[in-house]
Amino acid sequence: MSNPPSPPTSVNPDDRNAKTRQMLGMKGAAPGESSIWKIRLQLMKPITWIPLIWGVVCGAASSGEYSWTLENVLKAATCMLMSGPLLTGYTQTINDFYDREIDAINEPYRPIPSGAISIPQVVTQFVVLLLGGIGIAYTLDQWAGHDFPIITSLSLGGSFLAFIYSAPPLKLKQNGWLGNYALGASYISLPWWAGHALFGQLNWTIVVLTLFYSLAGLGIAVVNDFKSVEGDRQLGLKSLPVMFGIDKAALICVLMIDIFQLGIAGYLVSIHQNLYAAILVLLVIPQITFQDMYFLRNPLENDVKYQASAQPFLVLGMLVAGLALGHSAI
Task: Say what percent of the chain tops pLDDT 90.
Answer: 71
DSSP string, 236-270: T-B-HHHHH-HHHHHHHHHHHHHHHHHHHHHHHHH
- 18 vs 285: which has the higher pLDDT: 285
How high is the pLDDT of residue 231? 81
Q: Is 11 part of any domain?
A: no
Distances in Å between the alpha carbon of 153 and those of 27, 90, 159, 315?
33, 16, 10, 25
Mean pLDDT, rounded, of the chain: 89
**CATH number, position 142:** 1.10.600
How many domains, in total, are found in the chain? 1
**Per residue in 215-266, pLDDT tens?**
999 998 888 888 788 888 887 778 899 999 999 999 999 999 999 999 999 9
Query: How much is the average pLDDT of 33-61?
Result: 91
How high is the pLDDT of residue 33? 61
How high is the pLDDT of residue 9? 43
How high is the pLDDT of residue 14? 52
How high is the pLDDT of residue 174? 87
How high is the pLDDT of residue 260? 96
Task: Say what percent of the chain tops pLDDT 70.
Answer: 89
**Per residue in 185-211, pLDDT tens?**
999 999 999 999 999 999 999 999 999
- 238 strand-pairing partners: 175
Q: Is 321 part of any domain?
A: yes
Query: How much is the average pLDDT of 124-134?
Result: 98
**Per residue in 92-106, pLDDT tens?**
999 999 999 888 888
Q: Where are the alpha helices (DSSP H) in the chain?
A: 13-24, 36-44, 49-63, 70-81, 89-98, 100-106, 119-144, 150-166, 176-199, 204-223, 229-234, 240-244, 246-270, 274-290, 299-327
162: pLDDT strictly greater than 60: yes
Displacement of CA 225 from its chain's centroid (Å):
14
pLDDT band at 6 (very low <50, low <70, confident <90, very high): very low
How high is the pLDDT of residue 40? 94
Q: Is 148 part of any domain?
A: yes
- Which range of residues forms the domain containing residue 42? 34-327
pLDDT band at 140 (very low <50, low <70, confident <90, very high): very high
Q: Is 315 part of any domain?
A: yes
Q: Is 5 part of any domain?
A: no
